[in-house]
Amino acid sequence: MSAASHLSRGAPRSGWSRFLLIGLVLLATAFVIGAPVAAVFVQALSQGLGFALQSLADPDTRAAIWLSVIVAVVVVPINTVFGIAAAWAIAKFRFPGRKLLLAIVELPFSVSPIVAGISYLFVYGGQGLFGPFLEAHDLKIMFALPGIILATTFVTAPFVARELLPLMQLQGNGDEEVAATLGAHGWQTFFRVTLPNIRWGLLYGVVLCNARVLGEFGAVSIVSGNIRGETNTLPLHVELLYHDYNAAGAFAAAAVLTLVALVTLFVKTILERVTGSA
């Protein structure tokens, strides 16, 4: 829809009420969303850029950044494959229980991260479902990297699927049916026909999933054990520094995460421009 058709629709609005509404919304957004983002950078630089960079170079902070990167490197591909598979199955086929499966895929959106973390503790923790088995085989999942990965996977499960589903439903099965009729194999159809059709939506889903993985806090705070320099992800490290009264350090770490969020939104805007669906 072009901007012009936006304007021509509806009633001819008197100028002042239009400007008042837009102005109020912009003002509210500046207060509600703009101010917190600005505050992160102002606080991070409150003791100078040098201090901010120095606190990022601290070994514990570096360890936290690395841990978060490792978690993202594992979780994002898992949830991308799952997201594609789920969207493919749900959008392209009809089968009994399809709506239920869709509800289950979206369930992590509605479940509190704290509930997710506690649930995983009861599965893999010492007194949990698999606790005796894991202990007997000397495997450590809770309060270690695998637990952080599992809990983060749960919390960020729906992001890729949620981006792809509407896209695949809108595009229908026509292209895939033509490819199959022309003798393409399953994987040929996927890589040459479907993937080019969904690539921008997929990319945004992946980028958003990545931002959520790096930022996950509640579920990880239950399963990580909070060992400084070992099982502290970057958001947990922000909390730790904050409670250590090292505000400038905490906000320097927070600024890194905020930059990731801003890049995510920037990529989204670019993608929408590419696909012309802004």
Partner 1 sequence: MSVGGVGALPRRRPSRTKGKGQGRVVPGFRLSLGLTLLYAALIICLPLATLIVVGARLGPADYWAVVSSPRAVASYRVTLGAAALATLFNTLYGFALAWVLVRHDFPGRRVLDAIVDLPFALPTAVAGVALTAIFAKNGWFGEPLAALGIKVAYTPIGIALAMAFTSLPFIVRTLQPVMEELDGEIEEAARTLGAGNVTIFFRVVLPILVPALLAGVSLAFARCLGEFGAVIFIAGNQPYNTEITALLAFIRIEEYDYPAAAAIATVMLATAFVLLVVTNALQAYARRHELAP
**Residue 47: left if φ>0, alpha if ψ -120 to 50, beta else—which one?**
alpha
Q: Is 142 in the site for partner 1 (CB under 8 A)?
A: no
Given the rule CB under 8 A, which of 50-58, 59-67, 136-144, 233-241 is the region that contacts partner 1?
233-241
H/E stretch holding 108 reads helix 98-110
171, two tokens: 């595009």
CB 264, CB 208: distance < 8 Å: yes
Q: Is 259 in the site for partner 1 (CB under 8 A)?
A: no
CA torsion angle for 94, 104, 224, 258 (degrees, to 10)? 80
Instruction: Tell me how crowded residue 42 is: count the other CB atoms within 10 A of its CB.
Output: 12
- Please list every residue from 148 through 167 that binds partner 1, using CB under 8 A: 150, 153-154, 157, 159, 162-163, 165-166
Q: Is 182 in the site for partner 1 (CB under 8 A)?
A: no
98, two tokens: 């399809």
Q: How far is the CB of 24 from partner 1 (least distance, A)?
A: 7
Q: Is 275 in the site for partner 1 (CB under 8 A)?
A: no
Q: How far is the CB of 236 from partner 1 (least distance, A)?
A: 8
Q: Is 228 in the site for partner 1 (CB under 8 A)?
A: no
Of the residues 15, 16, 50, 93, which one makes contact with partner 1 according to CB under 8 A: 93
Q: How far is the CB of 138 from partner 1 (least distance, A)?
A: 22
